[in-house]
């Protein structure tokens, strides 16, 4: 039973190491892209089949976004980023539950030290992916704030002059806001990584202890956790996007 | 004391103590949310959505402790 925090390398493409988490991420992206392409190409006014399901999911997401932003135009603007984050993180969390987690893979090593490098490992259980996603999110939040308010007004939220009303406390609060942006990045990263990786470790241990029936409640828990983490990531992104477009209060 | 045993004790303490705060916090959260729903059953979906969000953020603190424990054990 091999548990490693770092995603294991399967093979190398030139000098680029392809890890199992990366492979799964590419497979899920291709799946989503091909699915959406198939639906868009044959779209009809009255939706049937796959188009119906996807339209209902999108509508639910749009309503959820609108309930937070209270602004139709802004919801349309935020929708692509939020929906992509939600769908991709959801599928990548759930694909780690397929049969073969931690068990099906490449043999590595000799004789008694032989271990298995599993093929299936959730992409969100790779710190690189969650860090990249949270960096993208925080960057998009700053960009949205700057396009909505202008660089000077947006900067006024963080760099408050100590000569105006709050006299010094304003400056401190501004610096605190700046630091909390970095804190948001780190918390996004570790929340998603921790939840999914801990779930995988839990499932691996349970499957090694009692392979029949006992892991069932843990599988249900993991389905639930994967769904909740996708929702939480997108909802938090949405809330930060919304507060970035609000002008600084006095 | 050998490094191996120190690792085991360290991971156990990290996770054990790290789960105290979020555990209490989650209990408080859920109880207030239930109270709010009890007072005003019509607002159930709004309260529930906010509660789920707040639960995930509070849970994250316990997850940070878990990540530290796993790093101590496996890296």
Confidence at A72, pLDDT banded by 50, 70, 90? confident
Instruction: Say whether pLDDT at A175 is over 80.
Output: yes
Using the 8-state DSSP alphabet, how is residue A117 labeled? E
How would you classify residue A236: left for phi > 0, otherwise alpha for psi between -120 and 50, otherwise beta? Answer: alpha
Question: Closest-CA residue in chain A for B70?
Answer: A5
Indicate if ipTM > 0.90: no
Segments making up each domain of chain A, as ranges = 9-244
CA atoms within 13 A on the CB side of A128: 12
Return the half-sphere exposure (C-beta side, CA atoms, 13 A cut-off) of residue B44.
Answer: 3
Whole-number pLDDT of residue B31: 96
Tell me, what's the pLDDT at A102?
Answer: 66
Report the gap between the CA of A211 and the closest CA in chain B (Å): 23
Burial class (CB in 10 A: 0-12, 13-18, 19+), B5: exposed
Residue pLDDT, tens place only, B6-53: 999 999 999 999 999 999 999 999 999 999 999 999 988 889 888 988
Whole-number Å distance between alpha carbons of A27 and A25: 5
Closest CB to A5 among B52, B64, B70 = B70
Interface residue ranges in chain B relative to chain A, Cβ cutoff 8 Å: 52-53, 56-57, 59-60, 63-64, 66-67, 70-71, 74-75
B3-74, which class in CATH? Answer: mainly alpha
Residues of B in contact with A4 (CB under 8 A): 74-75
Residue in chain A lying closest to B54 (CA): A232
B75: nearest CB among A5, A231, A236: A5
Which pLDDT score is estimated for A61?
A: 92
Query: Could you tell me the pLDDT band of residue A209, with boundaries at 50, 70 and 90?
Result: confident
Domain boundaries, chain B: 3-74
pTM of the model: 0.87
């Amino acid at each position: 039973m091999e548990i490693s925090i770092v995603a294991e390398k399967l093979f190398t493409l030139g000098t680029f190491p392809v890890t199992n988490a990366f492979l799964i991420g590419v497979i899920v992206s291709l799946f989503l892209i091909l699915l959406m392409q198939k639906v868009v190409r044959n779209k009809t006014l009255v939706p049937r089949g796959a188009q119906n399901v996807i339209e209902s999911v999108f509508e639910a997401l749009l309503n959820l976004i609108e309930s937070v932003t209270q602004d139709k135009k802004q919801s349309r603007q935020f929708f692509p980023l939020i929906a992509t984050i939600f769908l991709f993180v959801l599928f990548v969390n759930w694909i780690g539950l397929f049969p073969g987690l931690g068990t099906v893979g490449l043999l590595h090593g000799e004789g008694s030290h032989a271990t298995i490098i599993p093929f299936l490992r959730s992409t969100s259980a790779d710190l690189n992916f969650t860090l990249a996603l949270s960096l993208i999110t925080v960057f998009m939040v700053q960009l949205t704030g700057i396009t909505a308010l202008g660089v000077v007004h947006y900067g006024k939220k963080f760099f408050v002059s100590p000569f105006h009303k709050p006299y010094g406390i304003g400056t401190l609060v501004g610096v605190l806001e700046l630091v909390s942006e970095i804190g948001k990045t780190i918390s996004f990263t570790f929340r998603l990584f921790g939840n999914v990786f801990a779930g995988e470790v839990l499932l691996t241990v349970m499957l090694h202890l009692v392979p029949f029936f006992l892991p069932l409640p843990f599988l249900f828990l993991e389905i639930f956790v994967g769904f909740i983490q996708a929702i939480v990531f997108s909802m938090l992104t949405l809330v930060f996007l919304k507060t970035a477009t609000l002008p600084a209060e006095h | 004391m050998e490094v191996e045993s120190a690792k085991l004790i360290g991971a156990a303490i990290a996770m054990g103590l790290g789960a105290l705060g979020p555990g209490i916090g989650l209990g408080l959260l859920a109880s207030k949310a239930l109270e709010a729903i009890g007072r005003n059953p019509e607002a159930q979906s709004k309260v529930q959505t906010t509660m789920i969000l707040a639960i995930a953020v509070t849970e994250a603190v316990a997850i940070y402790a878990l990540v530290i424990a796993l790093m101590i054990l496996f890296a």
